Structure 1
Amino acid sequence: MKPLTVKKLTAIIAGKKEQGIDEVLIQYGAYRLKQVKNPNTAFFTSRRIIDWKSLEGFSPLILVTDWTYRKNEIPKHVIIIKVANVEDAYWKFVHFYRSQFNIPVIAITGTSGKTTTKEMIKHILSAEKNVTATKLSSNSRTANLQYLLNIEDETEAAIFETAVGAPGDVSSAGEYFKPTIGIITNIGAHHLDYCKTLEGYIQAKGEMVDILHPTGTLILNAEDVNTRKIDVSKFSGRIIRVGKDASCDFRASQIRYYQHGMQFTIHHKKANHEIFVPGFGEHQVYNAIAAIAAVYEVGVTIQEAAKQLQSFRQMSKQLQLFEGINQSLILDDTWSITTTSLDAALKVLNSLGDGKKRVAVIGTITDLGSWGNKIHEQAGELIHRMGVDVLITIGEHARIMADHAVKLGFKAPVFTFKNSTLVYKLLQDIVDENTIVLVKGDMYSKSLHELAENIKK
């Protein structure tokens, strides 16, 4: 955080200092008690603090509050700034802090690929710039303040992942970050427990259009059906489309698998560039094109971006290839699961498994609410359409995929399990050196993680 004095903060939030020293420097911010982890923290709260002893180790603590305490109730080492309304004061502080920095700020949302795209952008920009970014896929709305305060005088660019758990999440992130460049990687069906419908989820992702600076840049996946449903008519900035279509501003062609990654040609402004990106699948190409388009806006040439991408480290548990039991190959894709990422994973399985026995072990898709049955049936349609040689599902909802695939005419062997206990023994019996196994689930499925680890060599 770029430090500021108690006196400065008091003026910014139109408060009144009731106790303490003006010259004390504020170096951290918090709006929840558990976020107070260091001395010199400005803590915004309307709740009455009773257990002052637990906060003794964080002195000096700067308390910004609209609660009226009794005389001598607050310890002398606590600095008090009284305000009329804590929430108003908090947002005045947030808006002031963001206004101090005139740098490129990139915000990324999407059902799949946002973490990888963000990490690619960070990797490319870090070669020449001081960059701050969200940590891996830690994108909870409660972390927004800390990520904002990571921007300091030395920061030259910032990249933030803005997830959607519910409508308003992207808008809230925009209040903090005020991005100059926005990316929507794709929109599948996810978090329907809070967004209620697919249309609601699309609208929630579409909040990206509203949070961008009026002269900013919006980068869209031109081929994604749901992304095309977003109304961009009122956006006054520049729209860049990426994909394979001839109309795209950054167009990919000649996409092919090549030694632990993807090789392709990118076409931009009548020039062609050969690109290699680590990580399997056409979806990885889309991640790379979006990343290249974003850094190009920041001033990095495509040649420089291509050179940096070659050393990009593939994300853990995202279609990583390993040697497995009985000399088989294992595709560990246990980071997340949506119908969008399942589609991508099955395409990779079929490409790498050409001429081999293809086994898919698939877990439950979460965060669907009342849409659980329908989305799992859609997953079954995917499996039926794309085909595998053996299907194994783990979990009650995952069984819906298998049942629906069979109903549609899926002919390959199908095994359904409530948990993973018996799956390891089954795989021992059916896999060999001519088999590739996809394990597909999410980061919260401990049993699938363990299974993936156990069947690796």
Structure 2
Amino acid sequence: MKAFSISEIRKIINGELLLGSDNLVIDYIPYYKNIRRKKRNVLIFIRRKFEFDLNYIKSRLPCAIVIDHSFGPLKSIEGLTVIRVANVKSALWKFIEYYRQLFSIPVVAVTGTCGKTTTKEMIAHILREKKNVRYTVNSNNSRLAHLHYLIGIDEHTDAAVFETAVGMPGDVRNACRYFKPTIGIITNIGACHLNACKTIDAYIKAKGEMAAGLEDDGVLILNADDEKTKSISLENFKGKIVYFGIKNRADFRATGIEYRDGGMRFVLQSNNGSMPIFIPGYGEHQVANALAALAAVNEIGIDLKQAAERLKTFKNLGRHLEIASGYNGATIIDDTWNFNTTSLEAGMKVLNHVAGKKHRIALFTDMTSLGDYSLQLHKQAGEIVKKYGADTIITLGNRAQEMANYAIELGLKCKTYSFTDYGQVYTLLKELLNDNSTILIKSFGNNTSMIELAANLKK
């Protein structure tokens, strides 16, 4: 964070000094009690009375607090600076907006049902070759982390790339208010977080907040192949739109897609001509991620040939269709990062390619956070499984069992096993797995039991 004196901060937020020194220098602002970095010289915005914790404040001395109420005797605390404002929440946003406008740098915001973490990582990987980049760590993209990432930008930062997730309507809009992105990306829109968004239309609208979050001179990068993305209203968007895709006409289009050892090869078609690209990681979805990343860095001014060379050294993310040799010589495809119908289709395609003529095993848990659409979407998942096929299906959970049963109803010929206990699954897999089998493991991201099971099989 760029450092400020209390005197400078008071001018930004229109605050009155009640206690302490105007000369205290601040170099970090925690999102009160949520980001627990053991730092001192911090500025704490106490937005609600119940957040006031005297012991927490004492542990950060010397520090400063911003208040708009009386919180009892503070004068006796040595090293404490107190600033009073009319409204703490308004003061925080004044500081956020002031801080962001200090830096005229490209800022990329990435959202989407699938692929946002990989696309963000690809962009950061390309930019890091020559630039100092601030970016989201893994997929730690919660609304509580926005301030932490924003103040990580300083005078040495050349560019920033942030992942903006949708847990509920308003999340992307809120993230854009923090980051004020110059480039926005929507990788695709499937169906997820419907327990909060309630309907698929509301979920699409929540993803579409990216368009409203860009300034008039912003760049919006969209998936030309994604049907739900096409329903986003762009009526009031005045910036530039760049499309990427495989099937449909696009500014950045992939042709001649081939599976190669360790990754995908394709030919990039763009206004800059044709160019061969190799990207580590299997699947057409990985090609789409690369197209979105290349479109973004091109807008930033990175030469596409240099970007393509850099992509060759990209390391595919763990648990994102991670392929490993595992138990008894079996091939393990660990896709325990996320589970929805969009990622399922990508996973089934990869299973078919990697397995070839070997025995194909698919292990599924329930999909989560689908609200009233749970049964409908598990049936859609069954349709996907039927479309791409499997020789053995193993399920954990009632909805996963319904998904498998529906695939069988549609005509899929395979063996099925349904369990409620992870130990039973592990016992069965020790019987089934050998060097003539390939298993796809699909589960939602915080399913620690499935993550552990996949890790054990990979060993």
TM-score, with normalisation over the residues of structure 1?
Answer: 0.97
Q: CA deviation at 1:430?
A: 2.4
Gap change, CA 1:450 and 1:102, over 3 Å in 2: same
For 1:122, give the aligned amino acid. A
For 1:403, give the aligned amino acid. N
Q: Does 1:114 align with 2:116?
A: yes
For 1:16, give the aligned amino acid. E
Q: Does 1:378 align with 2:380?
A: yes
Gap change, CA 1:393 and 1:99, over 3 Å in 2: same
Q: CA deviation at 1:270?
A: 5.6
Kept in 2, the 8 Å contact 1:419–1:447? The answer is: no
Kept in 2, the 8 Å contact 1:188–1:339? The answer is: yes
Q: Structure 2 CA distance, aligned partners of 1:168 and 1:54? A: 30
Q: Structure 2 CA distance, aligned partners of 1:329 and 1:186? A: 29
Cα deviation digits, residues 184-217 of structure 1 (max 9, x gap): 0000000000000110000000000000121011
**SS at the partner of 1:422?**
helix
Q: Between Structure 1 and Structure 2, how many residues are aligned?
A: 457
Kept in 1, the 8 Å contact 2:2–2:151? The answer is: yes
Structure 2 residue aligned with 1:172: 174
Q: What RMSD in Å do the two structures reach over aligned CA positions?
A: 1.5
Decide which of 307, 331, 334 is 1:332's aligned counterpart. Answer: 334
Q: Structure 2 CA distance, aligned partners of 1:131 and 1:95? A: 20
Q: CA deviation at 1:83?
A: 0.5
Structure 2 residue aligned with 1:45: 46
Cα deviation digits, residues 310-360 of structure 1 (max 9, x gap): 110110111111112232211111111111001100000011222111110
Gap change, CA 1:26 and 1:220, over 3 Å in 2: same
Cα deviation digits, residues 54-93 of structure 1 (max 9, x gap): 4323111111010124455662421010001111101001
Q: Structure 2 CA distance, aligned partners of 1:127 and 1:50? A: 44
Cα deviation digits, residues 108-167 of structure 1 (max 9, x gap): 000000000000000000000000001000000000000000000000000000000000
Structure 2 residue aligned with 1:248: 250
1:77-92 matches, within 5 Å, as: 77-92=79-94
Q: Structure 1 CA distance, aligned partners of 2:167 and 2:140? A: 13
Q: Structure 2 CA distance, aligned partners of 1:290 and 1:216? A: 16
1:346-385 matches, within 5 Å, as: 346-385=348-387
Structure 2 residue aligned with 1:230: 232
Structure 1 residue aligned with 2:8: 8
Kept in 2, the 8 Å contact 1:31–1:45? The answer is: no
Structure 2 residue aligned with 1:149: 151
Kept in 2, the 8 Å contact 1:240–1:249? The answer is: yes
Gap change, CA 1:396 and 1:268, over 3 Å in 2: same
Q: CA deviation at 1:50?
A: 5.9
Structure 2 residue aligned with 1:30: 30
Gap change, CA 1:25 and 1:270, over 3 Å in 2: closer
Q: Does 1:431 align with 2:433?
A: yes
**SS at the partner of 1:116?**
helix
Q: Which moved more, 1:217-226 or 1:326-335?
A: 326-335
For 2:64, give the aligned amino acid. I
1:254-265 matches, within 5 Å, as: 254-265=256-267
Gap change, CA 1:385 and 1:8, over 3 Å in 2: same
Q: Structure 1 CA distance, aligned partners of 2:215 and 2:34? A: 32
Structure 2 residue aligned with 1:292: 294
Q: CA deviation at 1:297?
A: 0.6
Q: Structure 1 CA distance, aligned partners of 2:425 and 2:162? A: 38
Q: Structure 2 CA distance, aligned partners of 1:189 and 1:291? A: 23
Q: Structure 1 CA distance, aligned partners of 2:186 and 2:416? A: 36
Q: Structure 2 CA distance, aligned partners of 1:62 and 1:129? A: 33
For 2:42, give the aligned amino acid. T
Q: Which moved more, 1:411-420 or 1:334-343?
A: 411-420
Kept in 2, the 8 Å contact 1:106–1:159? The answer is: yes
Q: CA deviation at 1:370?
A: 2.3
Structure 2 residue aligned with 1:417: 419
Q: CA deviation at 1:9?
A: 0.8
Q: Which moved more, 1:85-94 or 1:371-380?
A: 371-380
**SS at the partner of 2:57?**
helix
For 2:67, give the aligned amino acid. T
Structure 2 residue aligned with 1:343: 345
Q: Does 1:66 align with 2:62?
A: no
Gap change, CA 1:276 and 1:30, over 3 Å in 2: same
For 2:20, give the aligned amino acid. G
Kept in 2, the 8 Å contact 1:277–1:285? The answer is: yes
1:271-286 matches, within 5 Å, as: 271-286=273-288
Q: Structure 2 CA distance, aligned partners of 1:350 and 1:187? A: 24
Gap change, CA 1:73 and 1:5, over 3 Å in 2: closer
Q: Structure 2 CA distance, aligned partners of 1:14 and 1:247? A: 52
Q: Structure 1 CA distance, aligned partners of 2:261 and 2:12? A: 55
Q: Structure 2 CA distance, aligned partners of 1:46 and 1:446? A: 35
**SS at the partner of 2:258?**
strand
Q: CA deviation at 1:432?
A: 2.6
Q: Structure 1 CA distance, aligned partners of 2:181 and 2:268? A: 26
Decide which of 69, 74, 77 is 1:75's aligned counterpart. Answer: 77
Q: Which moved more, 1:431-440 or 1:120-129?
A: 431-440
Q: Does 1:207 align with 2:209?
A: yes
**SS at the partner of 1:29?**
coil
Cα deviation digits, residues 286-318 of structure 1 (max 9, x gap): 000100110011111110011100110110111
Structure 1 residue aligned with 2:18: 18
Q: Structure 2 CA distance, aligned partners of 1:248 and 1:364? A: 35
For 1:29, give the aligned amino acid. I
Consecutive unaligned residues in structure 1, runs of 5 or more: none
For 1:444, give the aligned amino acid. N
Q: CA deviation at 1:231?
A: 0.9
Q: Structure 2 CA distance, aligned partners of 1:429 and 1:19? A: 70
Decide which of 159, 162, 165 is 1:163's aligned counterpart. Answer: 165
Kept in 1, the 8 Å contact 2:46–2:52? The answer is: no
